[in-house]
Copies of this chain bind each other. A is one copy, B any other.
Amino acid sequence: VAVMLGKLQFWFEFASTYSYVAAMRIQGEAAAARVELEWKPFLLGPIFDAQLGTADSPFNVHPERGRYMWRDLERLCEHFALPWRRPSVFPRTSLIGARVASAAAGEAWCPAFVRAVFRANFAEDRDIAASGVIAELLESVGQPGAAWLARAQSPEAKQLLRDNTERAVALGIFGAPSFTVGSELFWGQDRIEHALAFARG
């Protein structure tokens, strides 16, 4: 068993393009740095709504930022050798997937499920808003889809995701992906290395 040198919380939103890149990279990077990872799904919509006055993505609201982001994602995915297909719907509703990930955050298979959802959205252009798709992705990592979907609709699971999103706001989070070490916040997949170094102290 490797001795862990620190702990990092990884805050992600299934609708977020840069969260996709971070989600695909972070487990390997954290393991190499011997930093323990906590997976924290949350919803950006309510945060954008409160802070920016609209729940839509700033990449849709500001076309010049959107144009840049789509090109940047192509380049980043090439750089990190990640599959990429621009989704035909953006941003996709991430609620069901985020509730499942909240309820399953402690499970060993959860990181694989998270990556499967991101891949479905950003490499396969599948509709992750649909519960049938989420069920299939659960099955793809060896889990009973219907059972987890039912559990994700429980008041407890709904509350878990609300708690995560409120905790994100309390930590000063305004975008995704974000990383926290205690109250120290890092924003953007470019900051994975800095955040891991900070977690090691």
Contact = CB atoms under 8 A, between A and B. Distances in A.
Interface residues of A, number: 21
Contact of A71 (B62, B67, B75, B185): B185
Q: Which of A52, A64, A67 has the most CB of B within 10 A?
A: A64
Interface stretch (A32-40, A128-136, A143-151, A186-194): A186-194
Interface string A56-71: 0000001011011001
Taking chain A's interface residues, is the majority helix, strand, or loop, or is none over half, making it mixed? helix
A174 interface: yes
Contact of A194 (B51, B75, B187): B75
Interface string A164-201: 00000000101000000000011110110010001000
8 contacts: A51-B62, A51-B64, A62-B174, A68-B172, A68-B185, A75-B198, A188-B190, A190-B190
